[in-house]
Structure 1
Amino acid sequence: MYEYDVFISYQRSATDISAWIRHHFHPRLTEVLDNNRYEDVRVFFDDQVRVGARWPAELSSALQRSRVLVPVCSPKYFRDEWCLTEWHSMAAREELTAAAPGERGRPLIYPVIFCDSRHFPAWAHARRPRDLQQWNHPFEHFQAAPAYLDFNQQIKQIAAELEELIERAPEWRGDWPVRKDGPEPPSQARMPRF
């Protein structure tokens, strides 16, 4: 059965991204979603993995038991093996729930942009990610800044859209795939013409 409504996916070695998620994105998103829904909302963020637990197994289990994936995207996100495993696993689930082969089923991936989307792959841009670069301040004191009110409004809009995805998520299946795809090779750099 599902254990989580939302799984937050991000590049774990990026300390500013993990600090932003821990201090701002995860708590606000969880609180707003929980306030708006009758049922209790559970949002997976990997700081909840128990000390001494087998990290890859815990992540795979949480991913399989989550309704919706929220990738926090940066250029290096798309070079990270775990990030791509999480994204492609949920994309495979969408394909499994599609009415016809080659189609995508119910949307289960809701990407947000942390920084610099120019270098994202085309398939990530096709998801029309929500741009949060304006509010990507990892510092705790960001909560006291006037811009935090705008950030809170963005979170409210994200939560409303996520509620729809959560409610329309397919019935849980024990055979949801976990795809271990490696990163795509970087695109060729263009040489300037002189």
Structure 2
Amino acid sequence: MARVYEYDVFISYQREGATVPAWVRTHFYPRLAELLDDNVDHQVKIFFDDGIPGGTNWPLAVRTALLRTRILLPVCSPKYFLNEWCLAEWHSMARREKLVGLASLERPQGLIYPVIFCDSENFPKYAKDRRMQNLKPWNLPYPQFQDTVEYLGFHREVERIAIELADLIGRAPEWRPDWPVDTPDPDPPRTPTLPRF
């Protein structure tokens, strides 16, 4: 097992549905990757589960990536806070913050850097307590969005986010092999259906 961080940022998002995954894949992830890479002195590495090869044990890959990531970047929507994987990712990083005394009265900056995809009125209090970056004005998942004037505003906002993330990455605590990583309980095995005679 690696004894250092492997990823700078872990993008946590609601994987069900069409809008959020399409937006992350088409617009947010590619812009963030290139703009963050421009603002750090090493080759930036972002974990985005769309790149997990077929046949991989997905829960194990996600768990391992989270263990080896410096900063969690949740893409928040109301359904994000109902998804057991999203909650496990958020709470794993919150437990890490607690272990090292971050997101506390003495050191309010943490390791969770949330962005708002939509809504935000229905987020839980622990999420609302965090300063979130509002990307609602640019949450269009369509590829044609890149050809609009509004996309320049999106680019500038992601550039600002990349600069803040670069600072957080530089201040992340030293990697520890005992970082807590929560994962949802596996689904119970299905009862086989036997034909009735």
The answer to whether TM tops 0.5 is yes
The 5-angstrom pairing of residues 112-131 of structure 1 reads 112-131=115-134
**Counterpart selection for 2:63 from 60, 67, 78:** 60
Q: CA deviation at 1:179?
A: 2.2
Q: 1:102 deviation in Å? A: 8.7
Q: Give distance in 1, aligned partners of 2:167 and 2:61.
A: 27
Displacement after TM superposition at 1:48 (Å): 1.3
User: How far does residue 153 in structure 1 lie from its aligned partner after superposition?
Assistant: 0.6
Q: Classify 1:33/1:152 alpha carbon distance in 2 versus 1 (closer, same or farther; 3 Å).
A: same
* CA deviations over 1:46-66 (Å, ceiling 9, x no partner): 011111011100000000100
Give the match for residue 45 of structure 2: 42
- Given candidates 84, 90, 95, the residue that maps to 1:92 is 95
Alignment partner, residue 12 of structure 1: 15
Q: Secondary structure at the match of 1:178?
A: coil
- What is the letter of the counterpart of residue 24 of structure 2? I
Q: Which residue does the alignment assign to 1:153?
A: 156
Structure 1: distance between partners of 2:168 and 2:39: 14
Q: 1:72 aligns with which of 70, 75, 87?
A: 75
Shift of 1:36: 1.6
**Identity, % of aligned positions:** 55
8 A Cα contact 1:28 1:155, kept in partner: yes
The CA distance in 1 between the partners of 2:184 and 2:100, in whole Å, is 20
Counterpart code for 2:19? D
Give me the whole-angstrom Cα distance separating, in 2, the residues matched to 1:113 and 1:105: 20
State the match for 1:190 in structure 2. none
* Gapped regions of structure 2 (runs ≥ 5): 186-197
Contact 2:88-2:183 at 8 Å conserved across structures: yes
Aligned length: 181
Structure 1 residue 35, shift from structure 2 partner: 1.3
- CA separation in 2, counterparts of 1:18 and 1:162? 21
Partner of 2:142: 139
CA contact (8 A) 2:63 2:183 kept: no
Structure 1 gap ranges (5+): 183-194
Per-residue displacement from partner, 1:19-73 (whole Å, max 9, x unpaired)? 1011100000000011121200001100111110111000000001000000000
What whole-Å deviation, never above 9, does each CA across 1:148-194 have from its counterpart, x for those lacking one?
Answer: 00000100110011011100000000010012479xxxxxxxxxxxx
- CA–CA distance in structure 2, aligned partners of residues 180 and 102 of structure 1: 28
